[in-house]
Structure 1
Amino acid sequence: MFDNVIPLLPEIGISIVQTFLMVGIAIGAALLLGTPLGILLFLTSKGQLLERPILFRIISSVVNIVRSFPFLILLVALIPLTRVLIGTTIGPVAAAVPLSIAAIPYFARLVEQSLREVSRGVIEAAVAMGASTYQIIWKVLIVEARSGLTLGLTVLVVSFLSYSAMAGVVGGGGIGDLAIRFGYYRFQTDVMVVTVLLLVALVQIIQFTGNRLAHYLDKR
């Protein structure tokens, strides 16, 4: 049944590495830029420490605009930017550019939602004790929301694992590219089945790990 798969085992291994590279770059960008963006969204919203209605609306609108793009359209629309930044539009590093741009606002919203679950009484207590905004962010908000942030990160990784498969449409490499080149164009159904099973297995492992870690970090 899997006669076409065995000769492709080295190719499958390379595709898995390419997928991890794409998703890893995107998740890194989301953590580095999406986390502070989400914190800023929370702090500038109504009733929070740095309430700035106009700034909040501007940032929120930009986040919503980027998130409203279907990923495949965003992937194609950012081809000129990818070419400028990377010098090519082919390969996992090139595909990581639109993935990163999509991941940053996506994770920012997840961060904002997690921070909104923190009890307002805890924040008010920290303010009453004279804690600075920096201390409130890192010693109160992040600590109290760490379980929710972990679950949010898990959702992000699972979602962008699926998004990375779409990168195969434009030659981005990875598991999706393998499925399209061999499973679709060459009608090798067994290759398509194996790639789907690989993605399912990866999602299960990531979700299980994220749930366990979030449960461990939840001290409530």
Structure 2
Amino acid sequence: MTLSDDSSFLGDTLCSDDKENDTPTNLSFQNLSELIMQRLKKNNKHIISEIKNTIEDEIKKAIFKLKEELEGRTNILSKKNDERALEIKDINKRIEILSKQNETLKAEIKELHTMKTTLEPKHAENNSKKIVIYGFSEQHNESEWELHSRLINMFHEVLNVDLTGYIEEIYRLGRKNTKTRPLVIELLSKRMCKYITEN
């Protein structure tokens, strides 16, 4: 074997060793890269899952809170509606009572109006036969017959009218006291009453 052969052999050997060492290094880098990628993917999945769970929890909490608030407001509105319903019911009862009272009052007014219409002609007719005399002296313990006689004499002397047989009733107005009470004379004839009042 020559020197050149040895050097060429060593050189070849060295070169071949380098090539053999190169392959495992490349494989280990590749494996490491893949391992890192796999780990990153797993971590990403885990992070995404955690984020997703967190978001879902927050959404659930927010929905639950909103639901509670809505239920609370709904309960308040429901109570207010119940109160309004009771108030309206009470008002309707009062209106019904007032309506009945109004109808009763209308009926009473109508009845009174009818009575007034019926009584007015009689009242007017009765008044048309009455004369009220003021200042006619009131004597102590005077009988109705004595008063009747004095009255007839007074009309005969003052108006030259004979009321004998024309007087139906005589009475004083008000309670007896120190003052002279007005004297009411109710006659049997309207014509006589009219004659006296006109003269």
Q: TM-score of the superposition, structure 1-length normalised?
A: 0.23
Name the structure, 1 or 2, with higher relative contact order (CA <8 Å, separation 6+): 1
